[in-house]
Amino acid sequence: MDKPVIGFIGYGNMAQAIAQGLVGGDVVPGERIVACAGHFDKLERNTAAIGAQAKRTAAEVVEAADIVVVAVKPYQIESVLGPVAGQFKGGKPFIVSIAGGWELGQYRELLGKGAHVQCAIPNTPIAVGKGIMVTEEANTLSDEDRQTFEAVFSPIAQIERVDSEHLAIATDIAGCGPAFTAMYIEALGDAGVQHGLQRESAYRLAAAMAEGVGALYLATGTHPGAMKDAVCSPGGSTIRGVVQLEKDGFRGTVIEAINAIEA
């Protein structure tokens, strides 16, 4: 499908991040994006920023779209999608749900078995084409739908397919991790400022370093421990910093942060 129309039911921060990524990555032009949301005046302002179209109702979005991204709160899904359930019976448009906590079985019960649904959770770097989409292996997409899904979202995100049992933990790592990484970048920036470096320069260095380490792993598959060892010369400055991080429980603290989310 060439330049499909992408419809958003709900247009909060994550929906806007996806839309920005799609337009910025030249996947679809702004006029091929439609959206509805609870506050129409705010929706008009937000969609105008990328040249997208504001719609007043979910029915209008479903009617116009080839792909419908469900981006409302989980507790709103039944009231928002229930009245338009009949529009999905033929499998067109298909649904990409980014509403965490709603599973495929719930959509099939609400919309009927004829609806084509893929549950996926993106993270915020999708806004600049560097995102991750944790995608549930179980879905009701047709082969054509899957090809379209890949064509639309793979240019702006790494699509990581996981089984249903591990969807939550994968989402925690990819979805919550940006907050932890931003804190790490901020901490490195503070350390740079403490030693006289201009803050913007310190942040740029830290951010580019984090992006580069991730890119190096994805390109080579080198074990992170080996990547760390490659920087640690005997008796050098890096190993002294690593030892201090180990003393302060750096890795254990990161693991416990994930455990706290999973609790």
Spatial CA neighbour of 179 closest among 107, 72, 104, 254: 254
Domain count, the chain: 2
Tens digits of residue pLDDT in 145-181: 999 999 999 999 999 999 999 999 999 999 999 999 9
Whether 45 maps to a domain, the answer reads yes
Output b/e per residue, 209-241; b: 16+ Cβ within 10 A.
eeeeeeeeeeeeeeeeeeeeeeeeeeeeeeeee
Whether 207 maps to a domain, the answer reads yes
Is the separation of the CB atoms in 15 and 71 below 8 Å? yes
Q: How does the average pLDDT of the chain come out, rounded?
A: 95
Same domain, 77 and 115: yes
Q: Reply yes or no on whether the pLDDT at 130 is more than 80.
A: yes
Same domain, 85 and 107: yes
Whether 244 maps to a domain, the answer reads yes
**What's the pLDDT at 1?**
59
Whether 1 maps to a domain, the answer reads no
Same domain, 149 and 190: no
Tens digits of residue pLDDT in 207-257: 999 999 999 999 999 999 999 999 999 999 999 999 999 999 999 999 999
Domain boundary among 98, 131, 162: 162
**What's the pLDDT at 100?**
86
Q: Reply yes or no on whether the pLDDT at 128 is more than 90.
A: yes
- State the Cα–Cα distance between residues 170 and 177, nearest whole angstrom: 10
**What's the pLDDT at 110?**
94
- State the Cα–Cα distance between residues 9 and 69, nearest whole angstrom: 6
Same domain, 148 and 178: no
Domain boundary among 139, 162, 185: 162
Q: Reply yes or no on whether the pLDDT at 117 is more than 70.
A: yes
Q: Where are the beta strands (DSSP E) in 61-205?
A: 67-70, 94-97, 117-122, 131-136, 157-162
Domain boundary among 162, 185, 200: 162
**Structural domain span for residue 253:** 171-262
Tens digits of residue pLDDT in 47-83: 999 999 999 999 999 999 999 999 999 999 999 999 9
Whether 46 maps to a domain, the answer reads yes
- State the Cα–Cα distance between residues 101 and 8, nearest whole angstrom: 18
Higher pLDDT, 235 or 101: 235
Whether 63 maps to a domain, the answer reads yes
